[in-house]
Structure 1
Amino acid sequence: MRRLAVLLAPILWLSTARAAEVSFPLTVDYALLGRALRETLTADQTGDIVLWGTATGCRSLVLRDVAIDAAQERARIVARGRARVGFGFLRFCFAPLSWDGYLDSLATPEVGRDWQLRFRDLDSHLYDGQHRRTVVASRLWEVVKSRVEERFEAFHFDLAPPIDEASALIRASVAPERAEPVVAALRTLRPRAVTAQESGVRVEIAIDVPPEPPAVPTPEAPLGPEELQRWQAALESWDAFLVFVIKDLGIAGHDREVRSELFDLLLSSRHELLVALAGEPQPGVDPVRQLFLRSWDRLHDVVRRAALSGTLEGRALRYATFLAAGDALAAVDAAGPSLGLEISADGLRRLARLLEPEFTGDPLAYSEEPDPALRELFDFHEPSASPPLEPEPAAPPSAWWWPGPRDAHAAELPASDALAALVRRLDRWVPDDHELSVYRDTLDRLLDHVAAEARERNALDARVVPIFPHLVKTVAWQESCWRHFVRQNGKVTYLLSRTGDIGLMQVNRRVWRGFFDLRKLEWDVAYNGGVGAEILAQLLTRYGQKEADHQLDNAARATYSAYNGGPGAYRRYRLARVPRAQRAIDRAFFEKYRAMSAGQALDFVLCVEHWGRPAAT
């Protein structure tokens, strides 16, 4: 037995040392194949394709509307056509057989080592206008079948460009000193299986990944300041890449469901980015790789759905190449972590330019400026800016000062003047203890204003209109205790959290980058409140209303869960398995929301202990 174990040991070692075969898919849409086939068969200006004879001659076969789809687990070439077979004499056609109907040809797709997709084993038939086989069609088909099938079998579609791009992306993702095993693996790329599926012809691409050597732990020093900056820049490059791809895909198509999924993907990825930035950087760990692998499958699925919906017409090959390259990188990285692949900025640029080869700028340019295209893509609205701050008007005679007109004067001032008075009073105001009640009432009026504007801009469903003002005010209570400005080192500044949440509504600068003006978020309390209300209106429509059927208040709870944790968290408030800290956040919000809805929030919105006592002296 011991001898047997000794004999088995080298066999076991050899089996584990063998390269592992990894595969990734390349799917070619039928619309793309159909267009390529029509170009190969050479359609004239009217769309007619003459496969035999002349279009008006005594012997002719003319096809039009050539397309490819799937049937009976094979590819199917379909076309409308007409044919005539007779004897020509002195420009006359005697005893002609005529046909007008449909051509249907089943074919098996195959891909050779030359990466050419071809159709083989054709099984073709002619049908009349009612898709029936007839004697005339059968006799005609005996004459023209070989000519038609020869043309179909001569067709080939070149898959080498997407495979070359996938190879180039993988090569660009490894350092030169570690490139040799990667290059060796890329030489083994080969087609493994070809199937005709509903979405297109799917080609499984195989590659042999070398075995992973035994890990030798080596301690690494903590990251220095410059390395930390590069680490953060790498994460920002990933966010810029994702925005570039999402805008390209969203603008190319007009499918609202696809755009909704893209919005969900963008916000979810940005919340994951916050988690990565809040964590401790690990030496030798590529932060972008983890975000890429978590997001890629979702992005892949959205692109495939967009292709199936027909929104990528004319750009299908670009997206097929993009998906193949990303799939290859993800598959090879997952199977061979020892290869040391990194999702570098150059690699992301290369992947992004597969979608827009003519783009002359940097697809990874990271900017905090507002992006009107991004806002328009997802139907977000720019909140009204605060009116210019002008000198405060004199108070009416015998009136004590109030933020905005008293009731007797309210009708005399337009809404813009009333808002200007509110903003003027709140600008850089950090209230002392004796001002808290006035501050509370002033901010309450501002929140009423921004909630009403957001409700009108977004045309909220009538069911949720009554809860929306309570939702806006409760979120401001939960997030900032109705504060926007604070004192630090004797100076007034805006409220800012460690993770980049700004002001009254604690709008995160990274999550909402491009949607809004960050400078205004910092110093304009009315704009900050308007942005928070706009976000809440959007999240309420997209996620909160899904939870409203059982109980209307659940819409508010779901909306806040999404506001706090991203789209994937909108059901968090009612799930059984939730981290304790997140459960506490959702419970605290709901307690505040119920108090706000019942009119019992009172002074608690300012989170001031011992409310009403004289200020300490």
Structure 2
Amino acid sequence: MTTATERPPRRSPRYWTRIALLVAAGLLSEWARANADATTAADASLGEDHEPSSSLRVAVPLQIDYPLLERLLVTQLFTGPEQSRDVLEDPSSCSQVVLSEPNVSPSDSKIDLLADVNARIGFGSTGNCATMLTWKGRIGISGIPEARSDGTALGFSPERVWLMNPAGQTVNNPQIQALAESSVRGIFERFTVDLKPQIQSIEEFLPDVLPDHSKDQIETLLSTLRVGELRATEQVLSAEITFEVDPLSTALEPERALSEDELAAWEERWQLMDSLLVLTVKHYAAATQLQELRDALLEVLIESRYRLRDALSVEPSTDEEQDLVRDWFLQSWQSLAPILQRIGLDQPGQEHLLLISVIAATDALEALDQLGPSVGLDISASGLRRLARMINGSAGDDLLNYSDALDPELRQLFEDSFESTDISFDWRWDLSFFPKAFAASDDRLNSWAPKRQELAEYLPLVAVLLEESIDNAIASRKLDSAYQELFRRLVYTTAWQESCWRHYTVSKDQKLVPLRSGTGDVGLMQINERVWRGFYDQQRLRWDIAYNSDAGAEVLIDYLMKYAIRKGEHKQNGGVSNLARSSYSTYNGGPSKVARYRSSKASTYGKKVDTAFWTKYQQVAAGNELAVSTCLGGDLSGPAIVSRGKSSRNKQGTSQSSTHSPTQSLIQSSVVTPQSFTLQLGVFSTLEAARSFVTQQSLGEDAVVRQRRTVDTSQYLVVYGVYKTREEAETARKNLTRLQPWIRQFSDI
């Protein structure tokens, strides 16, 4: 704990590099007081009992990038055609010195403005000018950065002006030089970066995050602001800003468990934090057309969700565990800030300066957090709502609602992150991401917590469901054929590792409930509800096994393609199988854990989980998927599906054959009457799904797919055999009990 006379105990590299724009948005309001007299004045204003040595000192680097300065310069000064400016402003227009194509760059701790010059010197009156001299070249103006307007604005004091020929060589032209000295200096002196809106935002924000500090203490904090010499580095315009903040006089309470009311407030706060990150990601993703930046925003959000999951896995208390969530929030913003700055640079007008308000506010949180608990930093609900309004105006409050529903904007951002932009996903908005694998078995799996004696029947049905999710994920994402078998094994093994192929279990009060972990993972694929909030419908993740299976396959193929393959994990020692191991490490730990499976620095927990996955994966790769039964008390072995077949496919991906099957021939012949019987094995929404089922179940030539049209849709029935009597159909049915066939007459079909 930091005492009143100690320096802050924590000084991480992140602290010195990410505080960046803190002062730019709020603390520059006191620049004019950054001199020796300000110290005396500030101490006097606090009264005789104030002890300056009791304050905690904060040093904050201010960093403003040159592209922003250049854009603001153009916006203010170069308002003529094609970003030009006539610096003479001669009423007769007989003489002109037009600057264009401005460029801002650093030079020896100063700022240089370089621009093209097109000069014409003449005399006369409007429409009757005599030209004395013309000249084209370049001009350079060097300026010293300075604070202006009582510290609420930033400007530059011109120091030197020089001329260059088009090749960039310095030249001496006394007439043009004299005009430049008298006019260009004045123009450059007018350039001002107004920071009043950002200052006001921070001044309003600080009381929300320092609720135990009085108004006088907040004002004192600002009055102690100090700014060193502004310096133009090779990368940014920087300065070290310092200020002091008083620690709380009241001793902190000892760590204890939260009360019921405190727990409710704590839960509301982390939900608001998560909602604010979502609002930020969606708002700025919509502000850029660069897919690279949209992908980066999405990755930060998903990675932050994994860390939130871990932070919430610890029972909260008044001190330490709440800090875990606060650290998560601050770290998430540190990851977002550089992406937001890049997006902001592409925005017109003053939009980037508005963005500084948001970044500066969160950097202020980080700076105060470094001082430790004695400062009493509190990221309150009102503070979070104020940040939301900075991002999206008055609508911010409404957009912080924490909802379990699917968010179309997040869903679209997720879809857009794939390289295959030619694939349309509009058909998924009915929330049924992939066609259902089967009908009769699907309903049973959605209400089945299997007992040990049922595993021989249950597990093959789950395998069929997983196969359908695998096939559709491969088709929708256009996964290269070289990785398709690996992906199939990956999905099988992940379902084994996560749930032992179960979606439901029986509660203590004998109710059927979705399988759920203590960290919020649910169902067959243990999709974490906090990580994937907004990307999937959480009610369907809980109560629809096929939906859960589809979601898990989709997340896995996302991690396989965007992380494991793209980052070249198959080029590491271990070869192609690394892709499966890497994809699962990411599935379990988030995008930052793509190489956890091979890292010597992985946590004990991470190593244990990855080792267990690899053991199971090797079983699946050997064709022993049914070994999953061992974690449910069974002793089955072998493949879950006897044969997957090797049907050839045409360009549309459908199976093709040169001859009709026996059943097909019988159906088309006069032997079949409306009173004949057959076995219906399933109803599917697509032809491909039906044919895939036939292949997966090794039904051979006796199975036929028949289309049945309704008013609005088409369905595809898989029927098996043709029988004259119900008794014959009943005898055949006994050989297919695992598929729960339905005896039907052709007249009913």
Whether TM exceeds 0.5 here: the answer is yes
**Contact 2:255–2:317, Cα closer than 8 Å, also in 1:** no
- For 1:354 and 1:385, locate their aligned partners in 2 and report how far apart those are by CA, in whole Å: 31
What is the SS of the residue equivalent to 2:439? helix
Aligned to 2:536: 516
Match of 1:533 in 2: 553
Q: Is the contact made by 1:246 and 1:262 (CA closer than 8 Å) also made in structure 2? A: yes
Q: What is the TM-score normalised by the length of structure 2?
A: 0.70
* Aligned 8 A contact 1:189 1:206 in 2: yes
Q: Give yes or no for the alignment of 1:17 onto 2:66.
A: no
Cα distance in 2 for residues equivalent to 1:353 and 1:19: 32
- Measured on the aligned residues, the alpha-carbon RMSD in Å equals 3.1
Q: Within 2, Cα distance between the matches of 1:124 and 1:587?
A: 67
2:552 is aligned with what amino acid? G
- What is the CA–CA distance in structure 2 between the aligned matches of 1:417 and 1:307, rounded to whole Å? 43
The counterpart of 2:195, out of the listed 148, 156, 159, is 159
Could you tell me whether the CA contact under 8 Å between 2:78 and 2:100 is conserved in 1? no
- Structure 1 residue identity aligned to 2:489: H
Distance in 1, matches of 2:426 and 2:529, equals 16
Q: Distance in 1 between matches of 2:515 and 2:370?
A: 42
Q: Which amino acid aligns with 1:428?
A: S
Alignment of 1:189 with 2:209, yes or no, is no
1:363-442 → structure 2 map (5 Å cutoff) = 363-379=399-415, 419-442=438-461
Which residue of structure 1 lines up, in the alignment, with residue 152 of structure 2? 115
Instruction: Report what 1:498 is aligned to.
Output: 518
Number of residue-to-residue matches in the alignment: 571
Which structure 1 segments of 5+ residues have no match?
1-13, 389-414
Question: Cα distance, 1:267 vs. partner?
Answer: 2.2
Residues 42, 611 of structure 1: CA spacing in aligned structure 2 closer, same or farther, 3 A cutoff? closer
Deviation at 1:47, TM superposition (A): 4.4
Query: Which of 265, 268, 272 is matched with 1:230 structurally?
Result: 265
Query: What is the letter of the counterpart of residue 59 of structure 2?
Result: S
Task: List gaps (5 residues or longer) in structure 2.
Answer: 1-49, 417-424, 638-749
**Residue 475 of structure 2 corresponds to which residue in structure 1?**
456
1:462-477 alignment to 2 at 5 Å? 462-477=481-496
Distance change in 2, residues 1:18/1:221 (3 Å): closer
- Once residues 266 and 273 of structure 1 are traced to their aligned partners in structure 2, the CA distance between those partners, rounded to angstroms, is 10
What secondary structure does 2:581 align onto? Answer: helix
Supply the distance in 2 between the matched residues of 1:219 and 1:423 (Cα, whole angstroms). 54
**Is residue 298 of structure 1 aligned with residue 335 of structure 2?**
yes
Distance in 2 separating the partners of 1:383 and 1:606:
39
Q: Given the alignment of the two structures, is residue 597 of structure 1 paired with residue 595 of structure 2, yes or no? A: no
Cross-structure match for 1:244 = 279
Larger Rg: 2
Deviations 1:483-535 (A, max 9, x none): 11222233322212222211100001101000011111111111100000000
1:564 maps to what in 2? 588
Structure-1 residue corresponding to 2:463? 444
* CA deviations over 1:191-236 (Å, ceiling 9, x no partner): 33423245543344321223676x8564465322222122111111
Deviation at 1:176, TM superposition (A): 5.0
**Residue 11 of structure 1: aligned partner:** none
Superposed, which structure 2 residues align to 1:114-153 within 5 Å?
114-135=151-172, 137-153=173-189
Q: Deviations over 1:125-179 (max 9, x none)?
A: 23333334445x5531223322111121132222233233223222211225655
Q: Which moved more, 1:287-296 or 1:95-104?
A: 287-296
Q: How far apart, in 1, do the equivalents of 2:430 and 2:392 lie?
A: 39
1:447-472 per-position Cα deviation (integer Å, ceiling 9, x unaligned): 11101111222223454323001001
Q: Distance in 2 between matches of 1:84 and 1:311?
A: 35
- 1:37/1:142 CA distance change after superposition, 3 Å: same
TM-score for both structures, normalised by structure 1: 0.84
Distance of 1:416 and 1:101 partners within structure 2:
67
- Structure 2 equivalent of residue 410 of structure 1: none
Which residue pairs with 2:571 in the alignment? Answer: 549
Q: Any conservation in 2 of the 1:573–1:586 contact (CA below 8 Å)?
A: yes
Most deviating of 437-446 and 187-196: 187-196
Corresponding residue SS for 2:501: coil
> For the residues of structure 2 that align with 1:68 and 1:565, how far apart are their CA atoms?
43
1:526 maps to a residue whose letter is A
CA change 1:463–1:201 in 2 (3 A) is farther
Distance 2:391 2:429 in 1: 36
- SS of 1:419's equivalent in the other structure is coil
Instruction: State the 1:85 CA deviation.
Output: 1.3
Deviations 1:244-295 (A, max 9, x none): 1122222222333333332332222222222222212112554443223333
Counterpart mapping for 1:215-364 below 5 A: 216=251, 218-219=253-254, 222-284=257-319, 286-287=322-323, 288-307=325-344, 310=346, 315-335=351-371, 337-357=373-393, 359=395, 361-364=397-400
Q: Which amino acid letter does the alignment assign opposite residue 447 of structure 1?
A: L
Alignment CA distance shift 1:258-1:606 (3 Å): farther
Give 2:96's aligned amino acid. Answer: S
- Secondary structure at the counterpart of residue 378 of structure 1: helix
Q: Partners of 1:318 and 1:438 in 2: how far apart?
A: 61
Amino acid of the residue matched to residue 635 of structure 2? W
Does the CA-based 8 Å contact 1:191-1:206 persist in structure 2? yes
Distance 1:134 1:589 in 2: 71
Deviates more, 1:33-42 or 1:477-486: 33-42
The Cα shift of 1:476 comes to: 0.3
For the Cα contact (< 8 Å) 2:66–2:105, is it kept in 1? yes
The question of whether the paired residues in 2 share the 8 Å contact of 1:237 and 1:365 is answered with yes
1:106 corresponds in structure 2 to: 142
Deviations 1:333-378 (A, max 9, x none): 3126322110111112222322223536434221111111112223
Matched with 1:84 is: 120
Note closer, same or farther for the CA distance 1:84–1:346 as it changes in structure 2 (3 Å cut). same
